[in-house]
Amino acid sequence: MSTAPQKPSLAIHRKAERKLQWETIFIIGVIHLLALMAFDSSYFSVSGLVLGIVMYFVAGMVGVTMAYHRLLTHRSFQTYKPVEYFLTFCACQALQSGPIEWVAMHRIHHKESDEEPDPHSPLVNFLWAHAGWLFVSLPDAHTYQEYSRFAKDLHRDKWQRFFDMFFFPIYVLTAVAIYFAGEVYGGLGMSWLVWGVFVRTVVLWHCTWAVNSVTHTFGYRNYNTDEESTNNWLVAIFSFGEGWHNNHHADQRSAAHGQRWFEVDITYRLIKIMELFGLVWGVREPSQRVVAKRLDIMVDEEGLRASEARRLDTEDARAEVLHTMTDPTMPLEVPEMPSLTEASEAAVESARKAMESVDAALSHASVALKHKKDDADQAVRQMLEKGKDMAMAAVEQAKYAAAEAGEFSAQASAYLADAKDRATESAHQAAERARSLAQEASDAASKAADEIAVAFKGIERPVISSAV
Ligand SMILES: [Zn+2]
Ligand SMILES: [Zn+2]
The pLDDT of residue 141: 72
Rounded to the nearest integer, the mean pLDDT of the chain is: 78
How would you label 77-87 residue by residue, b for 16+ Cβ within 10 Å and e otherwise? bebeeeebbeb
pLDDT above 90 as % of the chain = 40
Contacts 24+ apart (CB under 8 A), 46-51: 47/182, 47/185, 47/186, 47/188, 47/191, 47/192, 48/182, 48/188, 48/191, 48/192, 48/194, 48/195, 48/196, 49/195, 51/178, 51/182, 51/192, 51/195, 51/196
> d(Cα 379, Cα 385) in Å, to the nearest integer?
10
Measured from the alpha carbon of residue 76, the closest ligand is 2
pLDDT computed for residue 436 by the predictor: 78
> Regarding predicted confidence, which is higher, 416 or 467?
416
How high is the pLDDT of residue 144? 84
Q: Give 106 Cα–ligand 2 centroid separation in angstroms.
A: 6
Q: Which ligand is nearest to the CA of 229?
A: 1
Tell how far the Cα of 247 is from the centroid of ligand 1, in angstroms: 10
Compute, in angstroms, the gap from residue 35 CA to the centroid of ligand 1.
Answer: 28
Question: Counting ligands in written order, which one lies closest to the CA of residue 257?
Answer: 2
Residue 242 CA to ligand 2 center (angstroms) comes to 9
pLDDT tens per residue, range 314-350: 666 655 544 444 444 444 343 344 455 666 676 677 6
* Ligand 2: centre distance to CA 257 (Å): 10
Starting from the CA of residue 118, give the closest ligand: 1
Mean pLDDT value across residues 427-440? 71
User: Does residue 461 register a pLDDT over 70?
Assistant: no
407 and 328 Cβ atoms separated by less than 8 Å: no
Distances 115 to 208, 226, 242, 253 between C-alpha atoms, Å: 21, 10, 21, 21
CA distance 300 to 295: 9
The Å distance, Cα 205 to ligand 2 centre, comes to 17
In the structure, ligand 1 is a single-atom ion and the residues with CB under 5 Å from it are: 229
Q: What DSSP assignment string belongs to 16-55?
A: GG--B-HHHHHHHHHHHHHHGGGGSGGG--HHHHHHHHHH
Q: pLDDT tens-digit profile of 114-152?
A: 676 777 777 777 888 887 878 887 766 778 888 888 888
Q: How many residues does the chain have?
A: 468
C-alpha span between 164 and 124 (Å, rounded): 28
pLDDT of residue 303: 60
Cα of 245 to ligand 1 centre, how many Å? Answer: 6
CA 304 vs CA 299, 381, 466: distances in Å: 9, 76, 85
Domain assignments of the chain as residue spans, ordered by start: 11-293, 337-467
Cα of 34 from ligand 2 centre, angstroms: 30
Write out pLDDT tens, residues 283-311.
999 888 788 777 777 655 566 566 667 66
| Cβ atoms within 10 Å, residue 6 | 6
Which of 121-135, 288-302, 394-408, 439-453 comes out lowest in average pLDDT? Answer: 394-408
| All residues at 6 or more sequence positions from 60 whose CB lies less than 8 Å from its CB, including other chains | 94, 204, 207, 208, 239, 240
* pLDDT winner (highest mean) among 126-130, 155-159, 342-346, 462-466: 155-159
Poorest-pLDDT segment among 129-133, 229-233, 283-287, 388-392: 388-392
Q: Which of 61-70, 89-98, 141-150, 231-240 has the lowest mean pLDDT?
A: 141-150
Whole-number Å distance, alpha carbon 70 to ligand 2 midpoint, is 7
Chain-centre distance of CA 266, in angstroms? 25
Of 61-70, 219-228, 410-419, 427-436, where does mean pLDDT reach its minimum? Answer: 410-419
Residue 459 is predicted with a pLDDT of: 52
pLDDT band at 427 (very low <50, low <70, confident <90, very high): low
In whole angstroms, how far apart are CA 184 and each of 20, 51, 188, 262, 324? Answer: 41, 15, 8, 43, 96
Rounded CA-CA distance 246/236 in Å is 11
